[in-house]
Amino acid sequence: MYVASSKLGYSGCLLSTCSSYRKWVYQFAATQQQQHKSLKSSWVVGVPRRFSSLESSRATLCSEPTQLFPRRWSVVALSDDKGNGSVDTNGYQLPPEEIREIVDAPSTPALSFSPKRDEILFLQRRSLPPVADFAKPELKLAGMRIDPDYNARSRMSFYTGINIHKFLDEGMLGPGRSVSGLPEGAKINFVSWSPDAQHIAFSVRVPEEEDGPPSLLSLWVADVKTGQARKLIGPPQVCLNTIFRLYSWVDDKTIVVSTIPASHGSPPKKPLSPACPNIQSNEQKLVVQNRTYQDLLKDKHDEDLFDFYTTTQLVLVTLDGTVRHIGSPAIYTSVDASPDCNFLLVDSLHRPYSFNVPWGRFPKKIEVWRRNGEFVKEICDLPLAENISIASNSTRKGRRGVNWRPDKPASLYWVEAQDGGDPKVDASPRDIVYTELAETLGNTEPQIIAKTDLRYGGMLWGDESLALVYESWHKTRRTRTWIIAPEDSNVEPRILFDRSTEDVYSDPGNPMLRRTVLGTYVLAQLKNSDGKSCLLLNGSGASPDGYVPFIDLFDTETGKKERIWESDKEKYFENVAALMSDKVDTDLSVGNLKLLISKESQIDPPQYYLRTWPEQRVTQVTNFPHPYPQLRNLKKEIIKYKRNDGVQLMATLYLPPSYDPSRDGPLPMLMWAYPREFKNKDNAGQMRGSPNTFAGIGSTSALLWLSRGFAILDGPTMPIIGEGDEEANDRYVEQLIASAQAAVDEVIRRGVADPKKIAVGGHSYGAFMTANLLIHAPHLFCCGISRSGAYNRTLTPFGFQSEERTIWEAQKTYIEMSPFMLANKLKKPILLIHGEEDNNAGTVTMQSERFYAALKGNGTLCRLVLLPLESHGYSGRESVMHCLWEMDRWLQKYCVNASEE
């Protein structure tokens, strides 16, 4: 028996692995897919990140409620809003059509640019998967969820097709050519370009036959010029292992691939009776504190299963199909070739494992091999890391962040903590960055290239005379950027930027990168009007009026900035998506600069444009249709207002397209929020976002209720501020109430919300917020919706969110913040929704179950909905639709009709 679960979400049923059950599930899934074949979605070109929530929100349309599983596997709703505490197992329901047609709108493809920026892939995406896709055996091992049939992570989303387009000289896209030769129904994953951009590689699965064995993954390649694809390696000769990293390119024609060892055999069987008790011991009196991680190893059998499914044999595969084994079987987590393709950087895990932390903290070995598999040198062998502090800026002891330098053929760099990884230890420097040639590893002393007094946060490389080093400290929210000369110890490091991470107005932007002859990416440098070499900074342009993205030329010697591009401020929001002038044989200058820019407005979805210098010519590349034209004329406004302590707050107010204030008056409103912690009240009040962005609507977004005539107050800021030595959460409840009061007062003042019909809701930490507001500010809201929340902080004793104190250090705060402790005070209707297989640290499904029991025990009007096979977010179409049905039912009954109740 295995418990079904996953990132994409499943839950709580024990599903037998017997063939009769599996046959039933696959037959049912096939039936569902056959019924929907005629409703395949059309697709358009990719969208910017904020629009990516649409990826998981597209599916076929049903006109009747669907019961996918037998009753014992149906969605379970426990409710006392009927007055009798009934258990409702009537199957999955569908929300109203106006919501369904938005969720079921066609999805857009993902985009992938070639290394030379002259070709682009359109990766077609499937609709919301049916819940039947998730009803497969699933193992929970060391913080992962594994599909034992595929020897892969479970719940992998996939692409259904690939189209290739060429960028023409004038910036337009050439005719598309589909990748051909794929098996029918191919499920495509792990798409990547060869370094020379002549081929793409990807994995392929095909749907299982009705009574046949699972279809294992195979690795394919396609010729970019012709689009013709062919299988490179796969079963029955070789089976692939995708638990960690399936493959990576070594050079233009060679790939290193993770495969299942030939001696794999059958998985270890669980003993019929236990051989011994499970024992954990701390007789050494170590201080070991960890967050509430999910899906950890539990016993020796779990350890054996982890070994079985993660052990791989590395092979080198050339494009002509030649296969050669390298190294011995081990648990390899990553393999990266050096820029000159002569060495491999190999990471692996080994025992002893832990029952307290996920696999990322297991003992880890990092080695350098020659590309033929010959061992060169061990970089480090890190021990089990169970006792990393829960405080921010904690890290592992020993060498970490080991990577190839992108500016050198085969040089490594890494960082080592000088404080033992504990931020409570005073140390200067706190971190030291080293570099060393792969060829001379162990024969020479590593070269020190940087020292940081805050926690090291990464590097961007330019050349021997230029690199940027980042450091930050969470407690003070301080971040610094240093400029160094890696190969010249006579040049003193200089601070370029020293600012607060919370102060978005002072953000100078991020340096853009360009490709090198080695196929790596380094800092893009080009000449300004004075002829000096400058960095290209891509900034969000945060300001009191909203984000106005920009591109600056930044002189690292003088600090002088020259703005060469800025977004439209009046109607549109524009943002740089990619540097397109990336030919390695040409010096980069303003005269040959090409940028891919996305452009959108409140009513127009993002489109891509190519902007070229010096003439500033703009060419439209894409023409996406509006995903939900019925909401094209929705009204959006970023509103500002103040809290009673003077803190500036803001929110995005949405009104239905046909709303007329004089005719319609105040509307029922749904307020959807998520609190954040700050150290400075001025920074907490800074403007984040833009009034000109398009409203991307995800599959469970609160904005869906615009189609139902609601006003939506989206993302009202709920800052929890702790200035100086004050801990923010010590005044959590007080500040939360003040923020909510200010938001409600503002929408009532504007006349857009009916004071008696304002509902509040949130997901995860927003669900926690919702329960607290219904308890402490019941006069503000008629009802609430809490999805996948945590309500009892005593069940997260070693910290949560940004809280670094344990419950024994801040017991009063933990208890006062916990809605569970005041369940008897909650008198307004509350809907609790949770995936039965939530794998998020801190929001285990039991949180909602226990909170519901507490509410019911005190006579509160409440309802608990547990979604089978779903995790922290909800992905199965039946689950998503039922979630929306529950939310709509609740809002209609206890918000729209609040006065009648």
Confidence bin at 40 (pLDDT 50/70/90): very low
- Which residues 6+ apart lie within 8 Å of 44 measured at CB? 106, 108, 109, 622, 624, 625
- Which residues 6+ apart lie within 8 Å of 169 measured at CB? none
Confidence bin at 58 (pLDDT 50/70/90): very low
Angle, helices 732-749 vs 765-776, to 10°: value is 80
Instruction: Tell me: pLDDT of 11 over 60.
Output: no
33 by DSSP, 3-state: which?
A: helix
Confidence bin at 529 (pLDDT 50/70/90): confident
Instruction: Tell me: pLDDT of 84 over 90.
Output: no
760 by DSSP, 3-state: which?
A: strand
Among 752, 725, 733, CA closest to 671: 752
Instruction: Tell me: pLDDT of 66 over 50.
Output: no
Q: Out of 104, 754, 838, 888, which one is annotated catalytic?
A: 838
Q: What are the tens digits of pLDDT across the range 771-798? A: 999 999 999 999 999 999 999 999 999 9
What value does the mean pLDDT take over residues 141-163? 94
CA–CA gap between residue 864 and residue 374 (Å, rounded): 58
CA–CA gap between residue 363 and residue 359 (Å, rounded): 9
pLDDT at 15: 29
Give residue limits of the domains in the chain.
Answer: 1-40+109-266+290-350, 511-620, 629-896
CA–CA gap between residue 227 and residue 161 (Å, rounded): 11
474 is catalytic: no
pLDDT at 30: 37
CA–CA gap between residue 1 and residue 5 (Å, rounded): 13
Confidence bin at 47 (pLDDT 50/70/90): very low
Distances (CA, A) of 879 to 134, 292, 762, 865: 11, 26, 17, 10
Confidence bin at 566 (pLDDT 50/70/90): very high
pLDDT at 206: 86
Confidence bin at 276 (pLDDT 50/70/90): confident
Instruction: Tell me: pLDDT of 669 over 60.
Output: yes
Per the document, the length of the chain is: 901
- Which residues 6+ apart lie within 8 Å of 320 measured at CB? none
pLDDT at 339: 98
Instruction: Tell me: pLDDT of 122 over 50.
Output: yes
Burial class (CB in 10 A: 0-12, 13-18, 19+), 442: exposed
pLDDT at 278: 87
pLDDT at 60: 27
pLDDT at 595: 95
Q: Which of 80-94, 164-178, 501-515, 525-539 has the lowest mean pLDDT?
A: 80-94
CA–CA gap between residue 45 and residue 97 (Å, rounded): 26
Q: List 313's β-bridge partners, or say none.
A: 259
CA–CA gap between residue 866 and residue 871 (Å, rounded): 10
What number of H helices and E strands is found in the chain? 10, 51
CA–CA gap between residue 340 and residue 100 (Å, rounded): 52
Among 731, 759, 730, CA closest to 744: 759
CA–CA gap between residue 302 and residue 320 (Å, rounded): 39
Tokens (6 digits) for 596: 């891919």
Tokens (6 digits) for 802: 């940004």
Instruction: Tell me: pLDDT of 767 over 60.
Output: yes
Contact between residue 341 and residue 250 where contact means Cβ atoms under 8 Å apart: yes
Q: What is the DSSP string of 364-413?
A: EEEEEEETTS-EEEEEEEEPP-----SSTT---SSEEEEEE-TTSSSEEE
Q: Out of 199, 474, 763, 872, which one is annotated catalytic?
A: 872
- Which residues 6+ apart lie within 8 Å of 489 measured at CB? none
Cα 425 versus chain centre, distance:
32
Contact between residue 841 and residue 292 where contact means Cβ atoms under 8 Å apart: yes
Maximum CA pair distance of the chain? 82
- Which residues 6+ apart lie within 8 Å of 679 measured at CB? 476, 477, 500, 502, 721, 722, 723, 728
503 is catalytic: no
CA–CA gap between residue 458 and residue 628 (Å, rounded): 41
Q: List 164's β-bridge partners, or say none.
A: 121, 177
* Average pLDDT over all residues of the chain: 89
What value does the mean pLDDT take over residues 517-524? 95
Tokens (6 digits) for 517: 């002859």
Dihedral sign (CA 688, 692, 694, 695): positive
pLDDT at 72: 32
**Fold assignment, 629-896:** Rossmann fold (3.40.50)
- pLDDT over 70 percentage in the chain: 89
Q: Out of 11, 567, 764, 788, which one is annotated catalytic?
A: 764
Local structure of residue 730 (DSSP, 8 states): G
Instruction: Tell me: pLDDT of 54 over 70.
Output: no
Of 35-44, 100-109, 826-835, the range with the highest mean pLDDT is: 826-835
Cα 195 versus chain centre, distance:
26
CA–CA gap between residue 31 and residue 194 (Å, rounded): 39
Q: Which of 71-75, 90-94, 651-655, 883-887 has the lowest mean pLDDT?
A: 71-75
582 is catalytic: no
Contact between residue 660 and residue 724 where contact means Cβ atoms under 8 Å apart: no
736 by DSSP, 3-state: which?
A: helix
